[in-house]
Amino acid sequence: MELQGRKVAVVGMGGVFPTCTKLDDFADKLFSNQSLIREWDQAKHHGKQVRSSVSGYVTEEEMHLEAIYSSHIEDYPETYLDHLNRIPHAHLATADVGSIWAMLATLDAIKMADWQEDDIQSELTGVVVGSGGSGTKIARSAWRNFFELGKKSRSIGTHTVDRSMFYREAANISCLIKNKGVCESIGSACATGLGNIGHAYRLIQYGIQDRAVAGGVEGTSLESFIGFDGMQILSRGFTPEASSRPFDINRNGFVCSFGAGIVCLEAYDIAKARGANILGVIDRYFNNSDGDGNMFHPSYDGQKRLWKGLLGNSGMVPDVVKVHGTSTQVGDAIELFSIADMLGDKGYHIAAPKSQFGHMLGASGSVEMIAALLMLERQTVLPCLNSVQLNTELEYFQQADSWEGPQTPMAHFRELIPQEAFKKEINTVVCLNYGFGGTNSSILLSKDTQ
């Protein structure tokens, strides 16, 4: 049973994005139909050991960070320098690069939210931020020095645990801003970013917190990249900018990317009373599991139930659906058909931000929600780059007797999927994200009209 609870406003946002110096740069590139994907020298360095070599990655130098390597153990970044002096050194020593991104994005989001110290350092302010994996760069170096090179455990320093634990981003943010409310991480694979925001929304909705820092992070990691490359599900054979191609008939896998997205959420009445700039309102969050026992295969039934849980019998049709849209063969098709089954074939448009910056794993949901908020702000639908040709034939699973979805090919929905950004009145956006293990998340955003 869903309680109505309090309305929740989004009052700040910040992030770390490939090839971009700040949020405005990110927005300008997205709405001018640019791709943030490029050839990755670290992947290319390994030659034929890997199949794919493109990514939406971010370097330490681009974030004005410098790793300070240990003088007595190999290839171990003992701490980092922040050349712009944004993060105190004590907090850099407990962080991997993704946690530093999380702190930087949080500072930007809080500045936009215009929260004061008393607001932040409160029992009613929470932190709910997670990532898709552990601090692999730190862990790889530490354990190599112990297991392969025979170094003593004390030689790898006192911060390997806190710099590689799952909860590290939330912990570092909380220590930085000194909030006294909830501090936790929700892990749900590629639905992590949206799931953390959804959990924070519920904390505010039900009166447990008044405000929260929430989102997802995925620090640049060759380990994550090669793990997915080993599954043979990464895009290859295209130029970097053409590699991510949701819904296109020639799609052959996703682009493994990295970044961070943080939003500041606040009880709507509190935000309104203090005159906050409300970027959007979260009208509803719903999540579920497929329940079919399949770790990887998308579930049409699970996604239909997700839509039903989000919109119920309201009959509403959002102006834009921000899809998960990874560029995988079955995933894109199932997602498109589940949308069409719920909303029909007209009256809305589909935006696929992964076509521009790839799949940011644990950060994807939060960065893509920022993209959705930017669509509300600019009243412009983001494109699905490279969706050049949609299948004119039925998918193989549509021909099975057990299939209960649309009996039309993907090409039937061509007009819903723009290849370039375009202006449109946008009052509502639905955000969708899915993850391994059959976890599904959805958020309904609306423009503040009061």
Catalytic residues: 190, 324, 359
d(CA 388, CA 245): 8
Helix axes 300-311 and 329-343, enclosed angle (nearest 10)? 40
Classify each residue of 334-349 as buried b or exposed e, where b means 16 or more C-beta atoms within 10 Å of its C-beta: bbbbbbbebbeeeebb
Task: State the first-to-last Cα distance of the chain, in angstroms, to the nearest integer.
Answer: 28
d(CA 330, CA 308): 21
Residue matched to tokens 């943010």: 173
Residue type at 343?
L
Quickly list DSSP for 230-294. Answer: HTT-B--SS-GGGS--TT-TT---BPB--EEEEEEEEEHHHHHHTT----EEEEEEEEEE--SS-
Quickly list DSSP for 31-75. Answer: HTT----EE-HHHHTTGGG-S--EE----TGGGTEEEEE-SSSTT
d(CA 427, CA 422): 15
3-state SS string for 290-314:
CCCCCCCCCCHHHHHHHHHHHHCCC
d(CA 303, CA 365): 16
The CA radius of gyration of the chain, in Å to the nearest whole number, is 21
d(CA 300, CA 212): 33
Q: Any residues with CB less than 8 A from the CB of 228 and at least 6 apart, and which?
A: 234, 254, 256
Residue type at 36?
L
Structure tokens at 342: 């719920």
How far is residue 126 CA from its own chain's centroid?
19
Cβ pair 173, 181 in contact under 8 A: no
Residue matched to tokens 């943080």: 262
